[in-house]
């Protein structure tokens, strides 16, 4: 199963972070619209990513919900029928939640830098250091830490969990305040 070392952080200054990502990648990045539907799963996370263009990916991943760099193991299967697959999985497993985002993707060495605007949450950055064969998670963590410094990501902005967790917590807070 492929693996990467990931971090997720809140972004205070999206223009500055994007400028740093452009400089480090040497590109303007590419914009990707995504709707991720998360399904109930006995372990890890299962989501259907719809690129809103008739294509998608079914993604299973397993990683700890902790701040800072963490090892994530994942499997991806492409689909040309994301809506149909979402309907089937919704019936079979039930939907945990849905995340809509606009993502700017930059490639910096072996790292995918995602500058995300998440509907209902705001701006975030995700780093995914794609581990090479025989590369240890510790080496991936060093790459992530170095890139955090170069991008201007602060330790205090690191987050644990997934966007869907934050959205579900907001929905729970909204219900509790009624």
In this prediction, residue 73 has a pLDDT band, given cuts at 50, 70 and 90, of: very high
Whether pLDDT at 178 is above 70 = no
Q: Where are the domains of the chain?
A: 3-176
C-alpha span between 124 and 144 (Å, rounded)? 15
What pLDDT, on a 0 to 100 scale, did the predictor assign at position 71?
93
Whether the per-residue pLDDT at 20 is higher than 80: the answer is yes
Rounded to whole angstroms, how far apart are CA atoms 16 and 111? Answer: 19
Q: How confident is the model over 95-143, as pLDDT tens digits? A: 999 999 999 999 999 999 999 999 999 999 999 999 998 999 999 999 9
Give the global pTM: 0.91
Q: Is the pLDDT of residue 173 over 80?
A: no
100/84 Cα distance (integer angstroms): 18
Asked if 126 contacts 8 with a C-beta cutoff of 8 angstroms, the reply is yes
Q: Averaged over 34-57, what is the pLDDT?
A: 97
What percent of the chain clears pLDDT 90, i.e. is strictly above it? 90
For the domain made up of 3-176, give the CATH fold. Hypothetical Protein Pfu-838710-001 (2.40.320)
75 pLDDT higher than 80: yes
Report pLDDT digits (tens) over 147-161. 999 999 999 999 999
Mean pLDDT of the chain: 95
Q: How would DSSP label each residue in the chain? A: --EEEEEEEE-S-HHHHHHHHHHHHTS--EEEEEEEEEE--SSSEEEEEE-SSS-EEEEEEE----SS-EEEEEEEEEES-HHHHHHHHHHHH-EEEEEEEEEEEEEETTEEEEEEEETTTEEEEEEEEEPPTT--HHHHHHHHHHHHHHHT--GGGB--S-HHHHHHHHHHHHHHT-
Query: Residue 172 pLDDT > 90, yes or no?
Result: no
């Amino acid at each position: 199963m492929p693996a990467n070392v990931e971090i997720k952080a809140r972004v205070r200054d999206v223009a500055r972070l994007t400028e740093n990502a452009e400089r480090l990648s040497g590109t303007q990045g590419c914009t990707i619209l995504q709707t991720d539907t998360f399904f109930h799963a006995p372990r890890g996370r299962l989501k259907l990513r719809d690129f809103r263009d008739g294509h998608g990916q079914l993604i299973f991943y397993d990683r700890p919900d902790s701040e800072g760099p963490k090892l994530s193991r994942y499997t991806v299967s492409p689909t040309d029928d994301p809506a149909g697959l979402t309907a089937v999985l919704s019936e079979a497993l039930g939907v945990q939640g849905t995340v809509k985002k606009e993502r700017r993707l930059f490639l910096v060495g072996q790292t995918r830098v995602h500058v995300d605007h998440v509907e209902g949450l705001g701006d975030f950055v995700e780093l995914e250091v794609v581990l090479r064969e025989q590369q240890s998670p510790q080496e991936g963590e060093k790459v992530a830490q170095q890139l955090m410094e170069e991008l201007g990501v602060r330790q205090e902005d690191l987050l644990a969990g997934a966007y869907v967790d934050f959205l579900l917590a907001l929905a729970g807070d909204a219900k509790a305040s009624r």
